[in-house]
Amino acid sequence: MSGSKPFAEPPVAVVTKDAALQPPAPKGLKYVHLTDPDTLDEDNAHYPVLTIANYSFWALSYDDNREGLAILAYDQDNKLDRQWEFTGARYLVSISYKPGDSNVVFIGQAGNSIAVPISQLLQVVHA
């Protein structure tokens, strides 16, 4: 198409935020950020968060300690917009994303990870 612009991905970054400044975790979830994948040392004041445009994506653990993470999308007013459930890792350690990658990788305890398609998260931003 003449004059059309290529799709531009909105700004994506991995930042740290203080979980204490977030709304309370939804029922059955908890904020857990481990400083090391092989210990249970927590640091929720420096919680890894994925930001896309005006949205923040938080990975929370389950109260029942299942091997899974809930990814919560908060808008610019800190209102919960959407929530997904993924299995394969628990207790967030870090988030990895490089521009051009097709997945965001949430790394948890023991180095286990969950790869989430960036396109799935972008659906919230473009809704």
Cα gap 94→85, rounded to integer Å: 17
CB contact set of 75 (below 8 Å; sequence gap of 6+): 54, 55, 81
The pTM (predicted TM-score) of the whole model is 0.90
Contact by Cβ (8 Å): 56, 48: no
pLDDT number for residue 71: 98
Cα gap 101→92, rounded to integer Å: 20
Q: What is the pLDDT of residues 72-113, one digit of tens each?
A: 999 999 999 999 999 999 999 999 998 888 899 999 999 999
pLDDT number for residue 8: 63
Cα gap 25→2, rounded to integer Å: 48
On the question of pLDDT at 4 being above 70, the answer is no
